């Protein structure tokens, strides 16, 4: 069933240097739909059902921030109306949703759409419609480097090639003679992680001894994990959706296979991956991080984290604030609000210009991680941390790094 949710209100001061106040424009002429003196309408598409349904909660984080912003006065006096639809993690449905949001709902911008293959189709449509397609839930390299094809698209995650390079560098440091097995999704998402990882591994003189692919429509990856375990690999790299990441952890434990396990950030969910797989089986898993972690005791009194937890509880009382998927939605919402604040005039063109000329501290990003873009640089988040799962939470390892990706 199509889901539709609306958030209304107004906004005020933020944390530190991040201000809610935006320029109030006197009696503008609105040449684009979805914006008026009182409202700015934003549309999103999430997999509330289907194999990627764990990602549906990203919407909760985004909506919680919009609710907070609206309660404090709005962006230049405009309420944010957030309309979202269910795409069931189907690329064709995501494109259909984008068309509905633009042509029927008349949104001002598309925001936080999920999936690599999904956003490739939407990106072409957004370019044709000249509508901003911002902070999408993928780090695929095509959106970053192929700007003539995707001029209206901006990713909301670190580039997959950046994470792939970080994984290779970490393995080289910790296990230089590693025998690596890779589990990956057989689609543009999986390929966009696998290919730069293979290049980075080659550059680091690392040996990949086995690779197994799965399709998102498959019920299980048990067979693939069993094959990888038989390869003799002592490192497992998982480029998977949350559902399959949990299965891989469980099956590895069942087989008593204990490789060093590196898991892509997009599936590093405590609630939807590690807890279902079992915390005992998840100990020592390595991933990357760029978001503040409400489960980290050292951040208990962090103003940004406290505000996030309170905002999420107001909008979704039963939601787990510690899950990074919700934090991601919240941080991406902070980014789009910043872009709305920075518009020189209330048009889609000026929103895109603001998003592509940003240098900002976003409150829910980790210290040392900034959003920086320019007309020649469409990679908003360039740095990240390595992180390890210990006990029931993620623990940061060292300082932020800026991995050099191989392409």
The CATH code that applies to domain 39-158+296-376 is 3.40.50.2300
Domain ranges of the chain: 39-158+296-376, 160-289+386-401
pLDDT of residue 8: 33
- Chain segment 110-167, per-residue pLDDT in tens: 999 999 999 999 999 999 999 999 999 999 999 999 999 999 999 999 999 999 999 9
- Core vs surface per residue 236-253: b (16+ CB within 10 A) or e: bbbbbbbbbbbbbbbbbe
* CA-to-CA separations, 384 to 148, 243, 253, 277, in angstroms, rounded: 27, 24, 29, 25
pLDDT of residue 14: 41
Contact indicator for 94, 87 with CB cutoff of 8 Å: yes
- Chain segment 329-345, per-residue pLDDT in tens: 999 999 999 999 999 99
Same fold, 39-158+296-376 and 160-289+386-401: yes
Question: Beta-strand (E) ranges in 37-91?
Answer: 39-46, 79-86
Strands ordered across the beta sheet of 260-263 = 207-214, 179-185, 235-239, 260-263, 286-289, 384-390, 393-401
Distance between first and last Cα of the chain: 40
- Chain segment 235-247, per-residue pLDDT in tens: 999 999 999 999 9
**How far is Cα 186 from Cα 216, in angstroms, rounded to an integer?**
8
Helix (H) and strand (E) counts for the chain?
Answer: 13, 14
pTM score above 0.85? yes
Q: What is the pLDDT along the chain (407 residues), one digit of tens a residue?
A: 444 443 333 333 344 334 454 554 444 579 999 999 999 999 999 999 999 999 999 999 999 999 999 999 999 999 999 999 999 999 999 999 999 999 999 999 999 999 999 999 999 999 999 999 999 999 999 999 999 999 999 999 999 999 999 999 999 999 999 999 999 999 999 999 999 999 999 999 999 999 999 999 999 999 999 999 999 999 999 999 999 999 999 999 999 999 999 999 999 999 999 999 999 999 999 999 999 999 899 998 999 999 999 999 999 999 999 999 999 999 999 999 999 999 999 999 999 999 999 999 999 999 999 999 999 999 999 999 999 999 999 999 999 998 876 66
> Domain 160-289+386-401 sits in which CATH superfamily?
Response regulator (3.40.50.2300)
């Amino acid at each position: 069933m199509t889901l539709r949710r609306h958030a209304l209100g107004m906004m005020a001061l933020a944390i530190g240097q991040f201000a809610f106040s935006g320029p109030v424009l006197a009696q503008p002429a609105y040449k684009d739909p979805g914006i008026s003196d009182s409202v700015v309408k934003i549309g999103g598409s999430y997999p509330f059902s289907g194999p990627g349904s764990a990602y549906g909660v990203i919407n909760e984080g985004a909506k919680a921030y919009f609710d907070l912003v609206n309660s404090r006065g709005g962006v230049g006096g405009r309420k944010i109306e957030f309309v979202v639809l269910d795409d069931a993690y189907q690329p064709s449905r995501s494109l259909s949703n984008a068309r509905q949001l633009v042509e029927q709902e008349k949104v001002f911008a598309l925001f936080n759409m999920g999936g690599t293959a999904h956003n490739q189709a939407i990106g072409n449509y957004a370019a044709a419609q000249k509508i901003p397609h911002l902070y999408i839930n993928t780090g695929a390299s095509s959106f970053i480097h192929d700007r003539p094809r995707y001029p209206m698209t901006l990713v909301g995650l670190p580039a997959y090639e950046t994470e792939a390079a970080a994984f290779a560098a970490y393995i080289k440091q910790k296990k230089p003679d590693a025998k690596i097995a890779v589990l990956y999704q057989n689609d543009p998402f999986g390929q966009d992680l696998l290919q730069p990882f293979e290049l980075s591994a080659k550059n680091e003189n690392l040996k990949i001894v086995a690779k197994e692919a799965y399709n998102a429509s498959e019920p299980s990856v048990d067979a693939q994990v069993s094959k990888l375990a038989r390869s003799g690999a002592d490192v497992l790299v998982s480029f998977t959706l949350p559902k399959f990441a949990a299965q891989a952890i469980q099956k590895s434990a069942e087989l008593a296979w204990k490789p060093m396990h590196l898991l892509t950030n997009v599936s590093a969910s405590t609630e939807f991956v590690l807890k279902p797989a079992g915390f005992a089986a998840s100990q020592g898993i390595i991933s990357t991080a760029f978001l503040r972690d409400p489960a980290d005791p050292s951040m208990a009194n962090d103003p940004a984290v406290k505000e996030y937890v309170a905002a999420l509880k107001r909008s979704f009382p039963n939601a787990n604030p510690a899950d990074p998927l919700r934090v991601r939605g919240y941080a991406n919402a902070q980014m789009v609000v910043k872009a709305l604040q920075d518009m020189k005039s209330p048009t889609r063109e000026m929103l895109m210009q603001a998003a592509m000329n940003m240098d900002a501290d976003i409150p829910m990003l980790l210290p040392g991680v900034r959003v920086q873009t320019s007309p020649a640089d469409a990679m908003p988040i360039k740095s990240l941390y390595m992180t390890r799962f210990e006990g029931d939470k993620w623990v940061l390892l060292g300082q932020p790094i800026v991995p050099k990706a191989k392409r």
